[in-house]
Chain A
Amino acid sequence: MNASLPSATNVPTLATTSVMTEPQRRRWLRWLVAAQALFVVGVAASGYATSYWGRTIWLQTAPVDPRDLLYGDYVTLNYTISQLPGRLWRGPQPPRAQQAAYVLLQARPDSTYAAVGIYPEKPSATENQAVLRGSVQDTWRRSVRLRYGLERYYVPEGTGKALEKRRHLKVQVRIAPWGQARITQVVPLPVSATTR
Chain B
Amino acid sequence: MSTATDDRREVTSFDADDHQRPSEPEWGTLRSRWRATLRYMRRNPSLPVGLALLSALILFSVIGGLLVDIGDTRVMSAPHSRAPADNLWFGSDRQGRDLFAVMVHGTWLTVRVGLIAGAVGIVFGASLGFIAGYFGGWIDNIVNWTVDVLLTVPAMLFLVVIATNVSTPTEPLSSTTMAIIIAALAWRRPTRQIRAQVLVMRTAGYVQTARISGASNLEIIFLEMIPNLLPYLVASFVTAVSAAVLASVGLEAMGLGPQNEPTLGQTIYWMIQSSAFMMGLWWWILPPIIALVILFVSLYLINVGIDELSNPRLRRKA
Do chains A and B stick together as partners?
Answer: no
Chain B contact residues, CB within 8 Å of chain A: none
Chain A contact residues, CB within 8 Å of chain B: none
